[in-house]
Chains A and B, each alone.
Chain A
Amino acid sequence: MKTIAFHFQGYRDLPDDFNKRYPSIWVTPPNDELCDPEKVGQYFRWNIDELTLADELGFDGVGINEHHQNGYGFSVSPNLIASILANRKSDAAIVVLGNTIPMYQPPIRVAEEYALLDCLSGGRLVAGLPVGSPMDNVGCYGNPPTLVRPRYYEAHDLIKQAWTRPGPFTFNGRFTKLRYVNPWPKPIQKPHPPIWLAGGGSVETWKFAVDNNYTYSYLSFLGHPAAKVLMDGYWREVEKAGLDDNPYRAGFAQIVVVADTDAEAERIYLPHLRNFYAKALHIDPGIGGVPGVQTLASYKHGLETGASSYRPGARPTKPEEMTWKELTRDSMRVIGGSPDTVVADIEAAVRNLRIGHLMVLMQVQSMDNELTRYNTRLFAEKVLPRISGIWDKEGYVDHWWPQGAAKTSRHLAATKTGAGAVR
């Protein structure tokens, strides 16, 4: 299994009474009241430090994503941070999940920037092409809900053509008309960097992943038991299309916190987890549930299953009072505890959902740099060696891994060379 150290890049010092004072962490939290540029400089230096540490410690990949006007993550353009990671001498994959392409006009910009990242990193780029959230698309960037998916499909088509066809050629789309498509450069990876999709459970995205033989990652904070119904839906699409059940077709994001013992983990991390579940998922349901981003089919499916990342179900009713047991056992929203506990819970989650790409979130909202480094290091030293062999004996091959990144587990090499030693 591949393990990717994934970073939200959020605001670490939201006020204690945030939920009472503000209706939403996304789209409308007033910037002048809440977002101090000096602090943001510090956070981003920490983010880069924490991702760099994960690279040094032998995680298979480092991962970032794109959100806007959002207290739990405002990476804005993930390519900015990806370029810093790409400049390091390393064989870790750089998983950019993604650029949310319905929001770029013209989207040829994404083809160019991803290609440049692929060149700079020596072919280590995972080119995530997610549809993006309603909050970012409809709230922050003003896309009419009904145009999010049409823009997505067209942008995807343009980007893929730009990478695979000799330029210059013309592209006459509904939204984008370009006389000369001829990006400099094209990516190192041929025919193009692996394209990963990510979503919150839309039926159409599963279908699109299967039709294109892409890998699909489910990003939620619900825990694997609740994610099961959605991932099963994806696997049914895979099966219907006659594709194999290779677990590398699927990814999953999971908050993971490790300490020497379960009790120690509870003591250290519980306040941060409560804080995260209280504030990060505090999204105005009027914004999260905007009609029309989903197709009618997905909306009906959601009504029937009640499952979606952005619906009230994603957020516990009294997150600030949640117990360690509720978080890590009852719901399994969080995997946390001693290395033994974490290894066992990860293996159960990964096998339950059939996950080949595990994205571990080790910096949770208010955690400072020191604690994040501690969590990351402990995970790398005590957990990573024991989970990287999952799926090895079944013999699955990861066809969706970048050509320039290490094919086999990196943490062994990191251990041998001492690259993981204290800096």
Chain B
Amino acid sequence: MNGFEVTHLPHPGGFVANPVIGKGSGRPVVCLHGLFGHEWGGLLDDLATTRQVVAPAHAGSVDLADLERLDGIPDLLLYYDDLFRTLGLDRFDLVGHSFGGMVAAEYAATWPERIGKLVLIDPLGLWNEAHPVADHLLSTPPVQNAMRFHDLANSRVAAYLKPPTDPGDIQAGLLRRFLVLASTAHFIHPIPERGLRRRLRRIAAETLIVWGADDRLTPRPYADEFAAAIAGARLEVIADAGHTPQLEQGTATSKVVRNFLG
């Protein structure tokens, strides 16, 4: 990501400041990251050419102590709503990836009038016994990587996963991983389903669902379930991609998302 500014935004609920990354100007689009943190490839840069991009960090991923006052999805939604109001966002477009996709869908179902367009990229939030969502949490990094990507030999994936050499960077990376995995698991372990299915009907936003054709973390059947449950939703399946298509097939993913958001 180039040319992004990080604003440490105070939170009115007394939580630690959220390091919101932002770029561009125009109509706002909020982007909520997934289980492994900000993994956007070039998507945010592409969106920022015509839009104001706002990408907060997941609640508790800066300081786990914040989670002591966040019990469950309703508290999490209020956390984000406070943040969006602080940013002066009234009605906006919302993009969510993976765990962030689940939060985005929950938000759009809770305040349908606030969201113009909704993009869900390989979201969590539903549970299908025949196609269980993989257990990323109790897995080693190599096993997680196999869940996250269609092709580990893909040059963009390989570059992204290449471990740093500087000891300080290694330590920082481990701490980031620790914080984001722990703070997302807080809301979804052991099964990432908290009743979203019965709330999806409330979503009023025009919705695009983007799915990596070979998602091993949230398998493909979930794409059809989301598409069927959200009125008028469109589905775009990205070939040769797994759970993180914006990283693995950046050009194709940016194209469908930008075409949709305008």
Q: How many angstroms between the C-alpha atoms of A145 and B187 in the bound complex?
A: 10
List CB contacts (< 8 Å) of A193-221 with chain B.
none
B68 near A150 with CB under 8 A, answer: yes
The residues of A that contact B187 with a CB separation of less than 8 Å are 144
Q: Are B183 and A146 neighbours in the complex by a CB distance under 8 Å?
A: yes
B71 touches A174 (CB 8 A): yes
Q: How far is the CA of A287 from the CA of B181 in the complex (A)?
A: 13
Please give the number of chain B residues whose Cβ is less than 8 angstroms from any Cβ of chain A in the complex: 27
Q: Specify which of B137, B143, B178 is in contact with A296 (CB 8 Å cutoff).
A: B178
Shortest CB–CB separation between residue A131 and chain B, in angstroms? 16
Residues of chain B in range 162-190 having any CB-CB distance to chain A below 8 Å: 171, 174-175, 177-179, 181-183, 185-190
Report the separation of the CA atoms of residues A193 and B111 in the bound assembly, to the nearest whole angstrom: 52
Report how far A142 CA is from B185 CA in the complex, Å: 11
A150 to B138, CA, bound (A): 20
Task: Tell me whether A398 is interfacial, beta carbon within 8 Å.
Answer: no
Interface size of A by CB at 8 A reads 24
Interface residues of A in 152-177 (CB under 8 A from B): 174
Closest Cβ neighbor of B137 among chain A residues: A290
User: Which of B71, B140, B174 is the one whose CB lies under 8 Å from A303?
Assistant: B174
Q: Is the interface of B mostly helix, strand, loop or mixed?
A: helix
**A292 lies within 8 A of B178 (CB):** yes
Q: Mostly helix, strand, loop or mixed at chain A's interface? A: helix
Neighbour of A292 across the interface among B64, B68, B139, CB < 8 A: B64
Docked-complex contact A145 and B189, CB < 8 angstroms: yes
Contacts of A146 in B (CB 8 A): 60, 64, 67, 182-183, 185-186
Q: How far is the CA of A295 from the CA of B182 in the complex (A)?
A: 10
Say whether A138 contacts B181, CB under 8 Å.
Answer: no
- Chain A residues within an 8 Å CB radius of B144: 286
- Roughly how many angstroms separate A199 CA and B63 CA in the complex, as a whole number? 24
Q: When the two chains form their complex, are residues B175 and A296 in contact, meaning their CB atoms are under 8 A apart?
A: yes
A147: interface (CB < 8 Å): yes
Residue of A nearest to B142 (CB): A286
Question: What's the nearest-Cβ distance from chain A to residue B58, in Å?
Answer: 12
Q: B138, B140, B174, B188: which contacts A27 (Cβ < 8 A)?
A: B138
Contact with A290, one of B64, B67, B138 (Cβ below 8 angstroms): B138
Residues of B within 8 A of A351 (CB): none
Contact A147 B186 (CB under 8 A): yes
Given contacts A142-B189, A144-B189, A303-B174, contact A286 B182 (CB under 8 A): no
Q: Which residues of A are found within 8 Å of B137, using beta-carbon distances?
A: 138, 145, 290-291
State the A residues within 8 Å of B (CB).
Answer: 27, 138-139, 142-147, 150, 174, 284-287, 289-292, 295-296, 299-300, 303
Q: Given A142-B189, A291-B137, 4 other A-B contacts at CB below 8 A?
A: A138-B190, A146-B183, A286-B143, A287-B138
- Top 5 nearest A-B pairs (CB, nearest first) are A292-B182, A142-B190, A286-B140, A144-B189, A286-B139
